[in-house]
Structure 1
């Protein structure tokens, strides 16, 4: 019949699978490390299952590196460092800061735990990759990079800072030392900013 509409349903295309570097990055995290990711761009890691994150100013993060084992993963993005710590540490942070007598002090320290997401640095992208060559469009300026990348395999937990009460092993870095160092550096940075301001003489 002329002018009638077809009642046959239109075929629906299957969802597209990501291609290129994002697919490779996502597969590396999910298959090599066993870390969950969420759909979308950029690739983001699910926090709170295998690890939590302490998000701190880069200067404070650099000071904490001496308390971390060489296999403890650390990422950087912009002027921040993300220290991967044992899952559950984000919940323990307020009590730990109180015990270390840092409660009540305004610190630029954020704990990311269950339900949070972290941008996934490209595998093998260390500090030298922070400024990719102009032709490399797979890593954008300001993208997350690994300062200390996670090692191959799915056993990252043994290298993460933890409290001994949370089931830390003898080889795990001490979360209390890491947090105390980071808190002291955050406080110093804040004092520097405050003392660097000149009072208004109006």
Structure 2
């Protein structure tokens, strides 16, 4: 019929129609810094060139343990209590401007760097200290292991990429390593005596950590006291 409008019928689309298929995920653009490199590239250069720490290829940057250091992984509450207790007792060595050995926090966990080989010593130390039969939540990462590289905060450290997927709960430095001094000389070691100017004795650190981990387990469910604010620099 002349003058009649011709409309195309709308056909309802079912949820299984190709119209509802999710398109391929397009990777987000690499964030760059002022020097033109991505934050991950800048972080990798900092760890490898400034500290001499080996990293694993890929993103995010991961540090290889068992080469320059090992890592003790403990509940954050126990870690804070341990640092406070050892600090009051003068048990932490000094490497100004950040006293003591490097420490990072990752969500509800704390990562304490110790001398390479410390992870292998942990089971024997716990048995010797009569903590071996109790579940403490105290673990170690040693030879052949990997840990995510903390990126911030810290003076001179590569910035943490903002709003990037997968970074929630990522590790950040509580006490960052200082390239100006030999980091390995400040790491808790089993052979150290813990006197002034020497690294903290690993056995003393493990004993204090185990005690605080046990206390955390006993007080589970009890509202924790306010934690100290991380101070960097």
Q: Same fold (TM over 0.5)?
A: yes
CA RMSD of aligned residues (A): 2.9
Partner of 1:92: 121
Partner of 1:108: 137
Instruction: Identify which of 40, 46, 51 aligns with 1:33.
Output: 51
3-state SS of the aligned residue for 1:136? coil
Question: Which of the residues 150, 159, 162 maps onto 1:136?
Answer: 162
Q: Give the structure-1-normalised TM-score.
A: 0.76
- Does the 8 Å CA contact 1:32/1:154 hold for their aligned counterparts? no
CA–CA distance in 1 between the matches of 2:222 and 2:103?
Answer: 30
Distance of 2:139 and 2:208 partners within structure 1: 14
- The higher radius of gyration belongs to 2
- 2:23 corresponds in structure 1 to none
Of 77, 80, 84, the residue aligned with 1:59 is 77
Q: TM-score scaled by structure 2?
A: 0.66
**Structure 2 CA distance for aligned equivalents of residues 34 and 153 of structure 1:** 12
Which position in structure 1 is the counterpart of 2:201? 174
2:92 maps to which residue?
A: 68
Q: Aligned in 2, Cα 1:104/1:141: closer, same or farther, shift over 3 Å?
A: same
The structure richer in helix per residue is 1
Gaps of 5+ in 2: 1-31, 94-98, 155-159, 224-233
Tell me, in whole angstroms, the C-alpha distance in 2 between the residues paired with 1:48 and 1:175: 15
Q: Aligned with 1:55: secondary structure?
A: strand
Q: Is the 8 A contact 1:47 1:115 kept in 2?
A: yes
* Counterpart pick for 2:173 among 146, 155, 178: 146
Deviation at 1:55, TM superposition (A): 0.2
- Change in Cα spacing, 1:20 to 1:62, as seen in structure 2 (3 Å) is same
**How many pairs align?**
171
Provide structure 1 residue ranges, at least 5 long, that are not aligned to the other structure: 1-17, 127-131, 197-202
Contact conserved, 2:74 with 2:110, CA < 8 A, in 1? Answer: yes
Q: CA deviation at 1:99?
A: 1.3
- Provide Cα deviations, 1:127-175, integer angstroms capped at 9, x if missing partner: xxxxx8xx93469431210000000147211100011179x99611111
Q: Structure 2: how far apart are the matches of 1:175 and 1:71?
A: 13
Q: Indicate the larger mover: 186-195 or 49-58.
A: 186-195
